[in-house]
Amino acid sequence: MITNLQDTVTLNNGVKMPGFGLGVYKASMEETVHSVKTALQHGYRHIDTASYYQNEEGVGKAIKESGIPREEIFVTSKVWNEQQGYENTLKAFDESLQKLDLDYLDLYLVHWPVSGKYKDTWRALEKLYTDGKVRAIGVSNFQAYHLEDLLKDAKVKPVINQVEYHPHLTQLEVKEFCEKEDIQLEAWSPLKKGRLLDVPLLVQLAEKYGKTPAQIILRWDVQNNVITIPKSVKEERIVENADIFDFALTDEEMQQINDLNMDDRSGPNPDDF
């Protein structure tokens, strides 16, 4: 379990990845530059973007302007659905790198398991990895059966599966499969896009610990060994979200939060891809 904002998780290829990061989905270019710079100033060292978010330039600009050495920051991007397939993915990667104005990525993910395409996409990621253009490769929104299928032909095992994960969607099957295969689970929409903040149990625990419901959820992620990337464009929330390393939920409280699960998604269901 990570014990501070810059603490890392060791992925199955030996690469160390900060276990807590900033998401930038739906942030405009201007918001992205501001939020990434703010997060870096407050000690974040991990940024999660994607070609789909159309703000990779903003991430790159913020990294340059932060003055923090490139190698101290962990940058993730993803290949979007329409960009999948072997040649298209290689091209999409180059475009992302160009927009980010970086010469390598730390992590590149297959954004969704597009049926009939994700294996060719994965071969392209394997090439990018063996060519040294990206330090680690992984997937996103893969169910256990997608992973099983991918692993049949994969030469390189995914290091990460980034899935929607929060107290209303605890992803037991995917989590167990990933743990068994040493594929690190990473939570997207950890706050269910801000829709869990009035859940009575979370409010109660927040009162008990002098924290906010958002902090209780993010602490629950950390104690579950799930990498988490809450998004905010507001400085006070960027600071608040990361201020979770000075308290611990009890085993019973962890279980109570697990029990809030209702298999309820805020985003699409990967079974439909």
Ligand X SMILES: NC(=O)c1ccc[n+]([C@@H]2O[C@H](COP(=O)([O-])OP(=O)(O)OC[C@H]3O[C@@H](n4cnc5c(N)ncnc54)[C@H](OP(=O)(O)O)[C@@H]3O)[C@@H](O)[C@H]2O)c1
Active site residue 53: yes
DSSP character at residue 260: T
Taking CB under 6 A as the criterion, the residue among 89, 140, 143, 184 binding ligand X is 140
How far apart are CB 56 and ligand X at their closest, in Å? 12
Residues 193-232 that bind ligand X (CB under 6 A): 193-194, 197, 212, 214, 229-232
| CA–CA gap between residue 154 and residue 156 (Å, rounded) | 5
User: Rounded distance, CA 107 to CA 15, Å?
Assistant: 10
Site for ligand X (CB under 6 A): which residue of 192, 242, 270, 273?
Answer: 192
Token code pair at residue 82:
């329409």
Closer CB to ligand X, 58 or 190, in the complex: 190
CA–CA distance, 30 with 32 (Å, rounded to integer)? 5
Q: Does 17 bind ligand X (CB under 6 A)?
A: no
Chosen residue from 241, 244, 260, 270 binding ligand X by CB under 6 A? 241
- Other CB atoms within 10 A of residue 252 CB: 7
Under rule CB under 6 A, how many of the chain's residues touch ligand X?
A: 28
Q: Does 80 bind ligand X (CB under 6 A)?
A: no
CA atoms within 13 A on the CB side of 84: 20
**Which of 5, 9, 11, 24 is the binder for ligand X (CB under 6 A)?**
24
For residue 88 the two structure tokens come to: 């298209």
Residue 47, helix vs strand vs coil: strand
The count of other CB atoms within 10 Å of the CB of residue 60 is: 23
When the beta carbons of 70 and 234 are compared against ligand X, the nearer one is 234
Return residues touching ligand X (CB under 6 A).
23-25, 48, 111, 140-141, 162, 188-194, 197, 212, 214, 229-234, 237, 240-241, 267
Mind telling me the catalytic residues? Answer: 53
